[in-house]
Amino acid sequence: MLSVHAVRHLRDFVLDITLSVRPGETLVLIGENGAGKSTVLNLISGILTPDEGEITLAGRTLFSSAERVAVPAENRKIGHLFQSYALFPHMTVAENVAFGLRCRKVPRPEIAFTVGNQLRAMNLADLADVNVSRLSGGQRQRVALARALVLEPELLLLDEPLAAVDMRAQAAMRGELRDRIRVAGIPCIVVTHNLRDAVELGDRLCLIDEGRVAAEGSPEEVLGMRENGFIASFAGPQAP
Amino acid sequence: MLSVHAVRHLRDFVLDITLSVRPGETLVLIGENGAGKSTVLNLISGILTPDEGEITLAGRTLFSSAERVAVPAENRKIGHLFQSYALFPHMTVAENVAFGLRCRKVPRPEIAFTVGNQLRAMNLADLADVNVSRLSGGQRQRVALARALVLEPELLLLDEPLAAVDMRAQAAMRGELRDRIRVAGIPCIVVTHNLRDAVELGDRLCLIDEGRVAAEGSPEEVLGMRENGFIASFAGPQAP
Amino acid sequence: MIGHGGWKWAGRAALTLIVAALLALFLLFVTLPVASLFLRISPEAFFRSLAESVVIDALTLSLATATVSTAVVVLFGTPLALVNARHDYLGREIIDTLTDLPIVLPPAVAGIALLMAFGRRGVVGQYFDAFGISIAFTTVAVILAQIFVASPFYIRQARASFEAVDRLYEDAARTLGASPATVALRITIPLAWSGLVSGAILSFARALGEFGATIMFAGNFQGRTQTMPLAIYTTMQGDLDAAISLAIILVVISFAVIAAVKVITRRSV
Amino acid sequence: MIGHGGWKWAGRAALTLIVAALLALFLLFVTLPVASLFLRISPEAFFRSLAESVVIDALTLSLATATVSTAVVVLFGTPLALVNARHDYLGREIIDTLTDLPIVLPPAVAGIALLMAFGRRGVVGQYFDAFGISIAFTTVAVILAQIFVASPFYIRQARASFEAVDRLYEDAARTLGASPATVALRITIPLAWSGLVSGAILSFARALGEFGATIMFAGNFQGRTQTMPLAIYTTMQGDLDAAISLAIILVVISFAVIAAVKVITRRSV
Amino acid sequence: TTTIEAPEETTLTVFTAASLTGAFTDIGKAYEAQNKGVNVELVFDGSQALRTQIEQGANVDIFVSASTKHMQALQDGGFMNNSTVVPFLENNLALIVPADNPAGIKGLADLNRSGVKLVIGTKDVPFGDYTRQMLENLAADPAYGPAYRDAVMGNVISEETAVSSVVPKLALGEADAAIVYKSDVSKDDLDKVTRLDIPAVYNVKATYPLGILAESPSKTEAESFIAFVRGPDGSAILTEYGFDPISAEQ
Ligand SMILES: Nc1ncnc2c1ncn2[C@@H]1O[C@H](COP(=O)(O)OP(=O)(O)OP(=O)(O)O)[C@@H](O)[C@H]1O
Ligand SMILES: Nc1ncnc2c1ncn2[C@@H]1O[C@H](COP(=O)(O)OP(=O)(O)OP(=O)(O)O)[C@@H](O)[C@H]1O
Ligand SMILES: [Mg+2]
Ligand SMILES: [Mg+2]
């Protein structure tokens, strides 16, 4: 169970968000560019620190301004896929995926085994020894996803995880992602601009507008709010 | 009229492409991650040099291995939107958009005017003086698009131009893009993984597979080739 | 990694403390000797020195020559570093290493080498001499000596900074119509800016402190070639304390100049 | 910007040529003096020098001390540069400028400053002396003098390189479970690698060429404190040609070491 | 004194050994005061460095060397106007100790005590060469003997190439004793360093020659300057700085 209350002053507005996600549940964040979606993920994973608020995950307090607690990012056990991938440019694909396991001092043979499996699952096995600067855009995004998933985190934060992935792989990866989250029984937050992601991945949908939760509910509920201009265009001309 | 024949040896396969795009026509490139779509755009805009081939645009030879001609990228008058945006991190939004005009020695007041218009048209006016490192992902992509469009190039190359743009803005920008291309009467190539882009922007669709043109035709024709696995998943469960 | 005064940290305090202590020790090691110089002389002696004509001459000459030589180094070194960072040609690494050589030459030997090259009897200097141009023992020689010893510091850092700039931005600029010169001036150089400034400061500082090559190649003429380090040396022959006064003047002025350059260049970016 | 031998270029050839000519001129300026040294002596004289015990002692001492001092500089300078690049604390720019000061001190003054700090009567040295530890006139003094004069070159470049590393990678590494130390070792340092190597080379070269501070602080004693530059200077008093031989040995060895470091470190990245 | 009214200003470039810095600065000023129109440009550096500069083509009128060796080399090389080269100064070695004299050195006899930190010149520089000659003189005297010489050499912690790096070591109390020229301790440094004279029997005289360069365009002015240096005014200044001028009549 993840529960978040976080306030942070941004350039144009104050972000003030309250969210909670149950284990095995996927919350999809949608909203305009610059609404604050990536910032919410950064606050949760510890890249940014809220000005105020409280974040708890599976009973652990990750941040609390009242108790003056701020668990450093590296101890939060959160898988975070960055919008711009942030692949380590001095490493190969396999080294990128192995990075987190090495930080956890997993024995080498086990790393090799786990990374090999992960790469195969994501159709990246051929690229294992390629330097990441020589990947196409979609290949990069898949590597970033593999790198986050391989750690079996207690929470997954995915920032537009399939935006650059080709359509065929998208369908497959969407399915795999959904299964993984269900099996792992961890909470998951996905940011997307893609209707299919929202409908197929999301147990709940949350619309962020200028740093606040503007609407929340099941995909059907939220996408049904046709009176909201953003949702109207998100859901597209035909009803979902 | 753009016509391209280009051969280039890549790591895994040989890219060998023949394409032509008429003025006012938009060609949509689709294909798997790593198929070579971005590379085709790089070859056309002059970032990469083909091993062999010939590229002509509006009667000018941009590249010809036979005649040993290679017009440098800066003289090709091609607008190229990079997949990773490549915004200049040391400049504000307005400076980024103004960059190409300054290179062309356009007088300052005219630059200010043109850039202002462009930013307004792309809903970026509020962000004009913001440093680009402080933009959200979608905002970045819009700035990159504005930067390419403002130069009124003779050819537009757009690499996943709307992937990170929010849904509402996507619809608007897609419309604007289509109008612009029609009005300007220039050829345009768009790479996308998005079915709506393909259908709504594309006059013709071209499927790239391992560096070759695997299928080409009107969107209806190509998306109808359900026997092709990629197209089947691209076009989605329901027929377009 | 950014400090959060007052937040609980899981056992990282000890490590931070040790690192901080070691760094303080190192800083102390570097600054203590400089500070010791200050303990040695009285403020009056210091200000008295400042008014002497030898000191004024030397200080003016030092600042002027170091500025000129840094400017020359930047002017020539920047394209050289850029070419080496961006173009892979045969012999690049050899040229790169050659440009470093002046650092390892003890300055007195550098001075002899310069004399042997550009002196009146020198390999090249003899031809200049035939035209009545003599370089050695002039202010120009001071500048040449400084360029010789200081250029590697700039070039090396400039190259590293240029290499750190992502080519993607250069490619993007070219598709927007920027010529190679425009790309260099408007994209690559601004993106490498902090490294370039840093290299120029190194190079300026090295030129200001230059002694051995200057005294050998340019001689020790007050007002013409006697820079601050030479004036310090000359004074040291008679009066150690006066020499230390001069050294402090040099340190204070350099500190001020470097700090000013940092502030100015930081603001402009 | 990458050359395409044989392709037609629109009028850019002239500019390229001028730039190339200017660069060649500059390179010539830097290399010609070094080359002139080579003209001065015969190969036999050179090899004869190589076998002399003074030379062997001095060369061994030089390489050993410069290696140790570079190692110390890297060890302390890397965290210092990293902290200054990544943390914005009060007085950061002052500390940054302080670490630069040793460059502007003429080396002889640096030597006096070191004596005044760590000598028998020095500000700190007197306490060491009370424990029977004396630093001046020992090999340790040679190393300290080299650290003092060479450290700014590494620290300055290291800071610029660290600043050029995008924080995004560090953030990503932390979410993957990397502690600040791991982030530094596995992400920041590797990404800044070429700049760090470059800075270490500068610093090593400066340490190898160090003369004035060494002779002042450590004295000139064969086998103990007489490094190559001191041996060269000593020899120069009697026999200029022999001194030039020694200088050439220093240049050749330095060239070899620097080139080797470049090759080795390049490969490992 | 005669005042030569030169139609335009003449510049005399005098390359002067570093050990004469103080004395020649004063002499130069005094000479300029008496001879309007003559500008004495003094350049101070080690004799060896000055010699190298002359060999590499420096334009110089007068060379004042601290050692006959470098002057001889230039004479052999044809750089000097040989007839003008004369020894004009003598200098003696002296023992110097820090003002508070931590090792309690009262004279030569204390130099062989173990633990004394002694600084001398290297054998290639004149003051180092003369120091060794002096030690040979002492070794030849049964009162000291070869063992004394060896013990003294064993106490050497540094062999310096220039006096400028010796005096600071004494002034800062780093070394216990050093052997330099008598004139090397300037008036200003006398509060930090004590000078102990060395008995004439063991001492070694250094001779300083000066001379006019073969290529000097201002030979008459140069001669006049040399005459001044060797005359009563010059001698007085030199004596004040601890040198022993050799009178011109000899
Ligand atoms: N590093 C930064 N410094 C200052 N402001 C920033 C920074 N990054 C983003 N912002 C601003 O904060 C706001 C929220 O940005 P955020 O990246 O969270 O948006 P987003 O909802 O993820 O948008 P997108 O869909 O385009 O990715 C925006 O107004 C943006 O301009
Ligand atoms: N800089 C590079 N050096 C070497 N190989 C590269 C480089 N960039 C891409 N490649 C390889 O070239 C092939 C084509 O890449 P390209 O970027 O053109 O793919 P793409 O079709 O644009 O894919 P995506 O949809 O993921 O963006 C891929 O196999 C990729 O790994
Ligand atoms: Mg975002
Ligand atoms: Mg691509």
B79 lines ligand 2 (CB under 6 A): no
pLDDT tens digits in sequence order for chain C, 269 residues long:
334 434 444 456 777 788 888 888 888 888 889 888 888 778 887 788 788 888 899 999 999 999 999 999 999 999 999 998 988 888 888 888 888 888 878 888 899 899 889 988 888 888 888 888 888 889 999 999 999 999 999 998 899 899 889 999 999 999 999 988 899 999 999 999 988 998 998 899 899 989 989 988 998 888 889 999 999 888 888 778 888 888 888 888 888 888 888 888 774 44
Confidence of residue D242 (pLDDT cuts 50, 70, 90): confident
> A159 lies in a domain?
yes
**74-103 in C: which are within 8 Å (CB) of E?**
none
Is it true that domain C46-268 has CATH number 1.20.1740.10? no
C127 class by beta-carbon count within 10 Å (0-12 exposed, 13-18 middle, 19+ buried)? exposed
Rounded Cα gap, residues A52 and C204, in angstroms: 47
Q: Which residues pair with E206 in a beta bridge?
A: E91
> A176 lies in a domain?
yes
Assigned token pair, A189: 């937050």
Nearest CA in chain E to D232: E161
Distant-in-sequence, close-in-space partners of D245: CB < 8 Å, separation ≥ 6:
D41, D45, D46, D49
pLDDT of residue C4: 43
Whether the CB-CB separation of E126 and E180 falls below 8 Å is answered with no
Q: A233 and B171 in contact by Cβ < 8 A?
A: yes
State which residues have CB under 5 angstroms from ligand 4, the bound ion.
Answer: A 136-137; B 38, 83
CA B200 to the chain's CA centroid: 15
Q: A167 and B234 in contact by Cβ < 8 A?
A: yes
Q: What is the C-alpha end-to-end distance of chain A, expressed in Å?
A: 29
Contacts of B70 in chain D (CB under 8 A): 4, 7-8
pLDDT of residue C9: 47
Q: How large is the average pLDDT for residues D139-156? A: 94
* Interface residues of chain A, partner chain C, Cβ below 8 Å: 49, 68-72, 75
C159 class by beta-carbon count within 10 Å (0-12 exposed, 13-18 middle, 19+ buried)? buried
Assigned token pair, A34: 């610059």
B211 lines ligand 2 (CB under 6 A): no
A45 lines ligand 1 (CB under 6 A): no
Count of structural domains, chain B: 1
Whether the CB-CB separation of D124 and D118 falls below 8 Å is answered with yes
Whether the CB-CB separation of D68 and D145 falls below 8 Å is answered with no
**Among the residues of chain E, which ranges form H helices?**
21-34, 47-55, 68-76, 126-140, 145-154, 167-171, 219-230, 232-240
Ligand 2, atom 1, residue with closest C-alpha:
A134
> A9 lies in a domain?
yes
Closest in E164, E165, E173 to D120, CB measured:
E173
b/e code D151-188 from CB counts within 10 Å (16+ = b): bbbbbbbbbbbbbbbbeebbbbbbbbbbbbebbbebbb
CA–CA min distance C222, chain E (Å) = 8
pLDDT tens digits in sequence order for chain E, 250 residues long:
455 554 578 889 999 998 898 899 999 999 999 998 899 999 988 888 899 899 888 889 999 998 888 999 999 999 999 999 999 999 889 999 999 898 899 989 999 998 899 999 998 888 898 999 999 999 999 999 999 999 999 999 999 888 888 888 888 888 999 999 888 887 778 888 999 989 989 999 889 999 999 999 999 999 999 999 999 999 999 998 889 998 876 4
- Coil, helix or strand at residue E68: helix
Distant-in-sequence, close-in-space partners of B17: CB < 8 Å, separation ≥ 6:
B4, B5, B6, B7, B36, B40, B43, B208, B211, B212, B213
Enumerate residue ranges in chain A where pLDDT < 50. 239-240
Task: Tell me whether chains D and B touch (3+ CB pairs under 8 A).
Answer: yes
CA–CA min distance E206, chain D (Å) = 16
CA A9 to the chain's CA centroid: 22
Rounded Cα gap, residues B146 and B140, in angstroms: 10
Contacts of B229 in chain A (CB under 8 A): 168
Q: How far is the CA of B37 from the centre of ligand 4 (A)?
A: 6
CA B187 to the chain's CA centroid: 10
Distances in Å between the Cα of C109 and the Cα atoms of B153, C88, D113, D218 are: 59, 32, 24, 20
A222 lines ligand 1 (CB under 6 A): no
Q: C219 and E59 in contact by Cβ < 8 A?
A: no
- Coil, helix or strand at residue C115: helix
b/e code C52-69 from CB counts within 10 Å (16+ = b): eebbebbbebbbebbbbb
Q: Which residues pair with A61 in a beta bridge?
A: A56
Rounded Cα gap, residues B127 and C138, in angstroms: 56
Whether the CB-CB separation of E134 and E202 falls below 8 Å is answered with yes
pLDDT of residue A237: 60
Distances in Å between the Cα of E162 and the Cα atoms of A223, E65, E119 are: 89, 14, 11
B212 lines ligand 2 (CB under 6 A): no
Describe chain C by its helix, strand, coil percentages, rounded to 5: 75, 0, 20
Contacts of B198 in chain A (CB under 8 A): none
Assigned token pair, B153: 């190039």
pLDDT of residue E185: 82
pLDDT of residue C16: 78
CATH of the domain at A25: 3.40.50.300
Task: Identify the CA nearest to E198 among candidates E150, E138, E244, E139.
Answer: E138
Assigned token pair, A97: 């995926």
For E26-69, how does the pLDDT look when each residue is reduced to its tens digit (9 = 90+)? Answer: 999 999 999 988 999 999 888 888 998 998 888 899 999 988 88
Assigned token pair, B103: 């290179």
Whether the CB-CB separation of C131 and C148 falls below 8 Å is answered with no
Rounded Cα gap, residues B97 and B148, in angstroms: 8
CA–CA min distance B217, chain D (Å) = 35
B194 lines ligand 2 (CB under 6 A): no
Amino acid B7 reads V
Rounded Cα gap, residues C230 and B2, in angstroms: 68
Assigned token pair, C234: 């000359």
Mean pLDDT of all residues belonging to chain E: 89
CA–CA min distance C176, chain A (Å) = 22
Task: Identify the CA nearest to D141 among candidates D108, D119, D113.
Answer: D119
Rounded Cα gap, residues A20 and C51, in angstroms: 73
Rounded Cα gap, residues E109 and E199, in angstroms: 12
Q: Which residues pair with A14 in a beta bridge?
A: A9
Residue B219 belongs to what domain range? 2-88+154-235
Mutate one of C175, C187, C194, C269 to test the B interface: name it (highest B CB count within 10 A). C175
Question: For chain E, how many residues are written?
Answer: 250
b/e code A197-213 from CB counts within 10 Å (16+ = b): bbebbbbbbbbbbbbbb
Rounded Cα gap, residues C45 and B23, in angstroms: 81
For D7-44, how does the pLDDT look when each residue is reduced to its tens digit (9 = 90+)? Answer: 444 456 777 788 888 888 888 898 889 888 888 788 88
Amino acid E158 reads S
For B51-96, how does the pLDDT look when each residue is reduced to its tens digit (9 = 90+)? Answer: 999 999 999 999 999 999 999 999 999 999 998 889 999 999 999 9
Whether the CB-CB separation of A190 and A148 falls below 8 Å is answered with no
Number of neighbours of residue B52 by Cβ within 10 angstroms? 14
Rounded Cα gap, residues A39 and A80, in angstroms: 12
Rounded Cα gap, residues C112 and C109, in angstroms: 5
DSSP state of D250: H
> B115 lies in a domain?
no
Ligand 2, atom 27, residue with closest C-alpha:
A137
pLDDT of residue C94: 82
Rounded Cα gap, residues B9 and B1, in angstroms: 26
pLDDT of residue D6: 41
E180 class by beta-carbon count within 10 Å (0-12 exposed, 13-18 middle, 19+ buried)? buried
Half-sphere exposure of C169 (CA within 13 A, CB side): 23
Distances in Å between the Cα of B44 and the Cα atoms of B2, B64, B157, B177, C11 are: 10, 12, 9, 20, 56
Task: Identify the CA nearest to E30 among candidates E242, E240, E250, E247.
Answer: E240
Contacts of E174 in chain D (CB under 8 A): 115, 119-121, 136-137
Rounded Cα gap, residues C172 and C180, in angstroms: 12
Rounded Cα gap, residues D49 and D252, in angstroms: 13
Task: Identify the CA nearest to C198 among candidates D155, B68, D255.
Answer: D155
Enumerate residue ranges in chain B where pLDDT < 50. 239-240
pLDDT of residue D97: 81
Phi and psi at E91, nearest 5°, equal: -140, 150
The strand pair at A204-209 and A212-217 is best described as: antiparallel
The strand pair at E118-121 and A14-21 is best described as: unpaired
Contacts of A79 in chain D (CB under 8 A): 175
